[in-house]
Chains A and B, each alone.
Chain A
Amino acid sequence: MMTTKSHGKHGDFAIEAKGLVKRFKSGKAYVEVLKKVDFDARHGDLTMVMGPSGSGKSTLIAALSGLLRPEEGRVDTLDVDDLWKLSSGKIDKFRLDHCGFIFQGFNLFPALTALQQVETVLKFQGLTPAAAKKRATLALEEVGLKPRLHQRPSALSGGEKQRVAIARALAKDPQILFADEPTSALDGENGQIVIRLLRRAASEHGAAVICVTHDPRLEEWADRVIKIEDGIIIDDQRRTPNPNATLASHH
C-alpha cells in the first residue's frame, strides 16, 4: 500500500549534531538550555527524546531543524554540512524539501478542508494542482481520513485534526520527521493511532522520525530512547519496538 519510496538506507545517519549550546536571556543572566549536546538520528528509526518539562527537548529539535540558531555547535544533516552555515532562505528550502513537522497543536487553517490543508504545502513544493491533489488524497487515505477529505477543521475531532497534520507532514515524503509532543493533546485511543503512524513513517518510508515526548508509555514503539535532563543527554538506549503495543485510554 505504500505510495512513497523509502529514503537512505535504514540505519544511515540522517542527522548528526555536535556540541549544541543554546542559551536564553533571562533578565540579565543567560540560562543555558542545551549544554553541549551531541545528537544523531538514523533513517528508519523512531527516535524518542524524553525528559521532564523544561529539559530542553523542544529547543533541541528547533536547533536540529533549522528553526532556532544555537550559539555553538553544528548540525550535519542528509547531504548538508553544517546546516547553520546556510542562508535562512536555503534553510527554509531544506525544510521544504526534506522535513516534516508535527506539533502538539494542529495549526490547521480554519478555512481549508483536510484535502486543501495538505495540498497547500505540496503546491508550495512546486507540484502541479493535479499532482498535489493526488498526493494529498493518498496521504489522507494513509492516515485513515478518506471519508473526511472535504471536512474543515471545525468538523473534525482532535484526533482527526492531528491526522490531517500528520498527512500534511507525510505527503511531502520527508526524510526527516520532527514531532513535538504529538499525542499530548489527544486521548489514549487517538494517541495510539498517531504513534503508530509515526512508527510506520519510520519502518515503511525509512524516514528518520524524531519524536519528543514526556509520556513514558510511548517508549514501547521506539527503536531508540534518548533521555535529556537540564539540557544534558543522560541516557541513550536502543530497544526493539513493539508495533502492536497499546496505549490505555485512561491515564
Chain B
Amino acid sequence: MSLALSTLLYEWRRYMAAVMALALSGLLVLGMAGVFIGIGKGFTATIERSSADIIIMQPGAKSLIGGPAGVPRRFIPLAYNHPEVVEVQPLDGAGGSFQSVRNVDPTKSVAERARAGAPKQNFVQTSIIDTRPGSVTIPTDYSPELVEALRQPYTVAIDETAMRSLGVKLGDKALYNGQTVTVAAILRGYPNMMQQSIVMSRDTLRMVGQADTGPRVGPLMVKLSDPTRAEVVAEQLNQQGDGQWKAWTRQDLADANQSAMFEQGPLIIILGGVTVVGIIIGVAITWQTLRGAIMANIKEFASLRALGVGMASLRRIVVELSFWVGVVGVAAAIGLTWLVAVFAGTQGVLIALQPQALIAVGGGLISIAMISGLLSLGVLKNSQPADLLR
C-alpha cells in the first residue's frame, strides 16, 4: 500500500472534514439533480411504460402531457396506411377538480366531525386507457385486474403516493368535477410531485363529458406488428407524414422529454448555482484540510527530502493523497445521497440517482479533491530538511 493511502486510512480523522465537505457538495448536486430528474420521471413514466411502439405528435412537441402535442383526427387513418401498423389510438386527457368525500356520521358531535378533517380538493390531471384487453393505451405494467377495475363506469385509479394529498383510499368515493367517482385501484410507480394525476377509462372520460370529440385529438399511440422495427417504421412514417407530424419511438421520446426539462432556464440556474456552491465549499474545505494534514507530517516529508527524495516525488505523494480523499469523498457522497433518497422515498418524494449523474458528480468530486491537492502543494516548500538540523 502506498504512503498516501496508508496515511489516509491511518489518520482518517484528520481527513474527515474534507471527506464530509466532498460528500455534502456531492449530496447537494446529486440531490438537486435527483429531485429534478425525479420530477421528470413522473412525467416520462407514462411514456416509458406505454405499450405504444411509436408515438405520433405535432412537430416540435416533446412531451405527452402539458403543451400542445395533439394532431388532427384525420391522421389516424393516415397512420393506418403503413402496413406494419396494427393499432392507432389517440391519447386523451383532461383536468379537473378532485374532491374527497367524507361519509358524515350524523350521530357524531361537531367536534368529532371537525377532528376527522375537512374534505380535500385538488386539481388533478386526468389520463385515460382503453379497457379493451391488449389496447395500445394500456401501460405495460397495468395488471388485467386493474384494467378490469377501470372498465366499470365512473371508476378512477390513483398512485399510492397521491393517496394522502388527495385524501382518499381504495374504495373511497370522490367528486370529479362534481360527479361521483370511485377509487377502484391504486397504482404503484407513478409518483408525480408537481401535479397529482388520476387515470380513468376513455368511456368514463366520455361520461363525465371531457372526451375529445372535435377534429383534434391527442398524441397517437401506435402499435406495430413487429415492435423491434420501431426505428425503421418511425423513419418511414416521418417520410410519409412529410413534416405534418413527427413519429417518435418510445425511447427517443422519453429521452427527449427528459432533456427538454433540463433545457428550462430556472432548472439550469438552480442546478448551476448549486454546483458552483458545491465546488467552492468542496475546494475550500478540502484544500485547507490537505494543507493541515501535510503540515502535520512536514517533518517526515523533510526527512525524506534529507534522504534525497526529490520535491517532485513529494508532490506526487500529495496529489495521490488528494486523489484518494476524492475517492473516499465520492463513496461518502453516494452513500449519503442514497440515504437521503431512501428517506425521501418514504415521504413520497422521488430522488432519481442516474448512473450518468453519479459518474459526472463522482468525477467532479475527484477533480475538486485533486485541485485542492494541487493548491496545497505550496506548503511542501516548508519541508526544509535543514530545519531538522538544529
Interface residues of A (CB under 8 A from B): 58-59, 61-62, 65, 67-68, 89, 92-97, 99-101, 103-105, 107-112, 116, 120-121, 124, 152, 165, 168-169, 172, 180
Contact = CB atoms under 8 A, between A and B. Distances in A.
Interface stretch (B116-124, B212-220, B301-309, B327-335): B301-309
A89 B307 contact: no
Given A105-B388, A152-B10, A124 B303 contact: no
Interface stretch (B1-9, B182-190, B237-245, B368-376): B1-9
Given A67-B306, A116-B6, 11 more contacts: A67-B386, A92-B308, A95-B308, A99-B307, A101-B306, A104-B390, A107-B299, A110-B7, A116-B3, A124-B307, A172-B307
A121 B386 CA distance: 18
Given A68-B386, A124-B313, A108 B307 contact: no
Contact of A108 (B300, B308, B388): B300
B297 A67 contact: no
Interface residues of B, number: 25
B2 to A, nearest CB: 9
Interface centre among B9, B307, B388 (most CB of A within 10 A): B307
A111 B9 contact: yes
A111 B296 CA distance: 12
Nearest to A98: B308
A60 to B, nearest CB: 9
B385 interface: yes
Contact of A101 (B3, B299, B385): B385
B317 to A, nearest CB: 10
Contact of B307 (A105, A111, A112, A121): A121
Given A112-B3, A120-B3, A107 B388 contact: yes
Contacts of A109: 3, 6-7, 297, 300
Contacts of A103: 303, 306, 388-389
B385 to A, nearest CB: 5
A134 B386 CA distance: 30
Given A109-B3, A111-B9, A120-B3, A58 B310 contact: no
Interface in B341-390: 385-386, 388-390
26 contacts: A61-B389, A62-B386, A67-B306, A67-B385, A67-B386, A92-B305, A95-B307, A97-B308, A99-B307, A100-B307, A101-B306, A101-B307, A101-B385, A101-B388, A104-B390, A105-B299, A107-B388, A109-B3, A109-B7, A110-B7, A112-B3, A116-B6, A120-B304, A124-B308, A152-B10, A169-B307
